[in-house]
A = this chain, B = another copy of it.
């Protein structure tokens, strides 16, 4: 009875599920107690798992944190790409932009959790050049995407001397990121943030069409 059920050992024993369960424990600790409270033992305890198992999947603490960082980054990226697939490029770029920027603002409690963890890892990455590069690339990718959609909306070719519209894209991205931050601290509500982002996006879109 106290013996583990068969199937928990050996080669193909639900590797990915166990792995992500451990990472989820990391997220929970980061979200509720802060990144500096993450230790192998606490993660194991939170995941209801032995220390040895955590070590097996993530030999060092740095491996664990890097994997967690990668996981949150992918989670955030998949949120955006999900929207890009459902509202495919058949739709008009304005709709896609609306959906995309909305995904960058935490609305539900689950969103808040994800964004808090993302901010924690972003701060963690500030002192790790290797991780910081990934954040930088992620933002550059997002900005490029916004610029592309702006061009598609205006009917112009997104080729040379796109600095003007990249500037616009950076503005929209920065605005959204800042709104997400203000939402996380509780300075504004998610509804206010959504409204401000949407209003500004509409203005940018209208201005580009009117030219």
Residues on A close to B: CB < 8 A?
Answer: 31-36, 116, 119-120, 122-124, 126-128, 132, 135-136, 139-140, 143, 167, 170-171, 173-179, 181-182, 184-188, 192-193, 195-196, 199-200
Contacts and interface: CB of A to CB of B under 8 A. Distances in A.
A-B residue pairs, 7 tightest by C-beta: A174-B178, A178-B178, A177-B178, A36-B36, A123-B123, A139-B187, A34-B127
Interface of A is mostly: helix
Please tell me how many copies of the chain the complex holds: 2
Contacts of A124: 34, 36
A135 B36 CA distance: 20
B33 A127 contact: yes
A49 to B, nearest CB: 22
A199 B207 CA distance: 15
